[in-house]
Structure 1
């Protein structure tokens, strides 16, 4: 009896760990390259053990052979990657908005490493990515993601048939919405950049002997930085609200 009890619990923890570990590998802030692998491993294992109290009634019986176990593990890893990728896409909107804002503010030539996107990008994108990552944890949005871990078992039962087509369509839709959100977040800079560019074009026609674009670049940078400081609270309020709405829509009850 003790052997059966241990086998069932180890089997359950392994399945939960497969899903949670995949999510942790993709999750912003925790799944970054600069986070040591042993820290991510310990955190994923701790969350897996804690979730066993909730997911134990949902666990199917252990498969009779290794092939069945491998199929179930692959399914759990696929679900974890799906959820983690969806959360990762939320941060893509900040990177995209930062690129647009940098163009409008005359800061497109200033580049820096963006830890949130794990790649080089504009200075504004790196700033928005770091600030978004900080607000992600300060506003306890990561708790919402942790709750989505538990509620994902109601949407994707363990050992159930995965609807890969629906998952691919969902990721495509979320990615499309994040780009739309990025444009919405950078909309004031698009409008100001258009007006500013048209004004410079008219001045260049009126005074062709003056290098108006070089003269106006400091003004463009100053105006862009002032606007960025004014719209930051609204920008992140909209972004955090979008993330909360999408998580609650995909995982009802959280």
Structure 2
């Protein structure tokens, strides 16, 4: 057996696996956060690729120039797709944070000490960091690695269905919006009840400065509901995220 050909085949096998894993890790929630340097993401991807290559290697490795470039292109595309769909699902927390900030008055542009949308950004960032922390605390990162391995059986190397990938990306956006609105639903109820009550109060007491009374009440009530709703909100996102990782489909 030609040792050079064997080493070349083994290197290309690892490189093809690394192409998919590395592309996915650049966007994957938990692994692909901006505060994790690309060097560490790629190093983690390389280690995972070295470990799982014997598990996912399927068929002969292409050695021709055109076939090899095409194979790398497909693997990188699939990896980017997996990472981006996961990232789109994570934006559900941003949708929820924006809605919560608007309903609770934290994003009121007329409040000089808060500023426009800064309150919504703070809540969205808190929910994002909470979801990322739970991913590692609940060992969901192990599920992510298992999902990347299973992706080779869902999407065998060298095959890609662009139409299905585009459809799933659209469904990811739909699910992210649905999760975000579902998480923010208690705040919608709270906002309706408080605003109706304050409106009736204004009708009975026209001289009452409702804006100055309503803002502290809305913010206090929003923060109180937020404390109660955060565990359920993160659990809702994690359940949908894990469900998608298990099937790679909506």
Q: Match of 1:34?
A: 35
Q: Which residue of 222, 227, 230 corresponds with 2:228?
A: 230
CA distance, structure 2, for counterparts of residue 61 and residue 43 of structure 1: 23
Equivalent runs, 1:73-152 vs 2, <5 Å: 73-109=72-108, 110=114, 122-152=121-151
Quick one: structure 1 residues 121 and 60, their matched pair in 2 at CA, closer, same or farther if it must change by over 3 Å?
A: farther
RMSD of aligned residue pairs (Cα, Å):
2.0
CA distance, structure 2, for counterparts of residue 234 and residue 170 of structure 1: 26
Is the 8 Å Cα contact of residues 60 and 158 (structure 1) preserved in structure 2?
no
Deviation at 1:75, TM superposition (A): 0.3
Equivalent runs, 1:156-171 vs 2, <5 Å: 156-160=155-159, 162-171=160-169
SS in 2 for 1:26: coil
Q: Match of 2:111?
A: none
CA distance, structure 2, for counterparts of residue 131 and residue 67 of structure 1: 45
Which runs of 5 or more residues in structure 2 are unaligned?
109-113
Q: Residue deviations 1:179-233, cap 9 Å, x none? A: 0111111110011111211222222222222211211211211111111111222
Q: Which TM-score applies when normalising by structure 2?
A: 0.91
Deviation at 1:143, TM superposition (A): 1.1
Deviation at 1:173, TM superposition (A): 0.7
Q: Which TM-score applies when normalising by structure 1?
A: 0.90
Is the 8 Å Cα contact of residues 25 and 45 (structure 2) preserved in structure 1?
yes
Which runs of 5 or more residues in structure 1 are unaligned?
115-119
Q: Match of 1:61?
A: 61
Q: Residue deviations 1:86-128, cap 9 Å, x none? A: 11112111110111111222212447999xxxxx952111110
Q: Match of 1:154?
A: 153
| Number of residue pairs matched by the alignment | 243
Query: Which consecutive segments of 4 or more residues in structure 1 shift more than 6 A?
Result: 111-114
Is the 8 Å Cα contact of residues 99 and 120 (structure 2) preserved in structure 1?
no
CA distance, structure 2, for counterparts of residue 133 and residue 176 of structure 1: 21
CA distance, structure 2, for counterparts of residue 201 and residue 95 of structure 1: 30
Q: Residue deviations 1:136-160, cap 9 Å, x none? A: 1111111111111111111111112
CA distance, structure 2, for counterparts of residue 155 and residue 95 of structure 1: 29
Deviation at 1:45, TM superposition (A): 0.7
CA distance, structure 2, for counterparts of residue 221 and residue 146 of structure 1: 40
SS in 2 for 1:186: helix
